[in-house]
Amino acid sequence: MLPIPNETRRPLVLLVEDEPALADTVSYSLGREGMDVVQARDGEQAMERFRAGRPALVLLDLMLPRLSGLDVCRLIRAESTVPIVMLTAKDSEADKVAGLELGADDYVTKPFSMRELVSRVRAHLRRAEMTHNVEPEPGMLAGGPVELDPDRHVALIRGEPMPLTPKEFELLETFLARKGRLLTRQYLIEEIWGPGYVGDTKTLDVHVKRLRQKIEADPHRPAHLLTVRGLGYKFVD
Ligand code: CA
């Protein structure tokens, strides 16, 4: 029997681009390189198809009808660590920076060569595959000074057991599971307090403040649980 080549598993790429001619050219090029492509023409369609298809990578035009590319980037990043490569116009420096701050991984400036695009996409897929393969000990979460064992509900800070309230534990677990990513205030509130939560959103800030007192060496100048101004929080090593 012939060995089954690795290439049989075709990665799925979500291409968000409202110009049909460009979208088709890109789809064709990626298809020829062994990838499956699903297209979306606007921001809302992008979110629908993202949630339905769980692609391995997102190619995201920033100038879109309905939801803008930056909104799409923020929404995807709040729920996934999938690589996001932006397709940007030459004169959109501010958008590029905003996209990267919102968690996009890379950008390609229009007009781009298909060869450049394909090699960028390949590189990000490879990197994502590699980080996927170095999972820590199953069930354990770690970041900065924190180690969490969600099954046993144990938290260690710098190796010492630290008592946490259930909400603090859940919040820290959410941060560690999505380390390095911006988590919006809305995402965190829905994730921890449920989508029907109608209380004061200051509750979240109070919990973050208490967590900082427990994990940060200097809670007033946090090195791990960071504020992303106007958007939310993120946890870094
Ligand atoms: Ca466009």
Three-state SS for 14-83 is: EEECCCHHHHHHHHHHHHHCCCEEEEECCHHHHHHHHHHHCCCEEEEECCCCCCCHHHHHHHHHHHCCCC
In this structure, the dihedral spanned by the alpha carbons of residues 89, 94, 100 and 103, taken in order and rounded to 10 degrees, is -110
Give the chain's end-to-end CA distance (angstroms, integer). 47
Q: The domain at 12-133 falls in which architecture?
A: 3-Layer(aba) Sandwich (3.40)
Confidence check: pLDDT of 129 > 60: yes
Q: How far is the CA of 148 from the centre of ligand 1 (A)?
A: 43
Confidence check: pLDDT of 1 > 60: no
Looking at residues 93-119, what average pLDDT do you find?
88
Check the CA dihedral 100-204-220-161 and report its sign: negative
Q: How far is the CA of 138 from the centre of ligand 1 (A)?
A: 42
Q: What is the pLDDT of residue 8?
A: 54
| Count of positions (residues) in the chain | 237
Looking at residues 127-145, what average pLDDT do you find?
72
Q: What is the pLDDT of residue 7?
A: 44
* 18, 41 contact by CB (below 8 A): yes
Q: How far is the CA of 54 from the centre of ligand 1 (A)?
A: 22
* 70, 58 contact by CB (below 8 A): no
The predicted-structure confidence for 107-119, as pLDDT tens digits, reads as follows: 899 999 999 999 9
The predicted-structure confidence for 54-78, as pLDDT tens digits, reads as follows: 899 999 999 998 889 999 999 998 8
Helix axes 185-193, 69-79, angle to 10 degrees: 30
Q: Write out the CATH class of domain 141-235.
A: mainly alpha
Q: How far is the CA of 19 from the centre of ligand 1 (A)?
A: 6
Q: How far is the CA of 190 from the centre of ligand 1 (A)?
A: 31
Distance CA 127, CA 229 (A): 29
* 11, 125 contact by CB (below 8 A): yes
Q: How far is the CA of 63 from the centre of ligand 1 (A)?
A: 4
Q: How far is the CA of 16 from the centre of ligand 1 (A)?
A: 9
Domain coordinates in residue numbering, the chain? 12-133, 141-235
Q: How far is the CA of 51 from the centre of ligand 1 (A)?
A: 21
The predicted-structure confidence for 192-233, as pLDDT tens digits, reads as follows: 888 777 777 788 999 999 999 999 999 999 999 999 888 889
Q: What is the pLDDT of residue 98?
A: 86
Q: How far is the CA of 107 from the centre of ligand 1 (A)?
A: 14
- 111: exposed, middle or buried (Cβ count in 10 Å: 0-12, 13-18, 19+): exposed
Which band of pLDDT confidence, cut at 50, 70 and 90, is reported for residue 152?
Answer: confident
Distance CA 180, CA 167 (A): 21
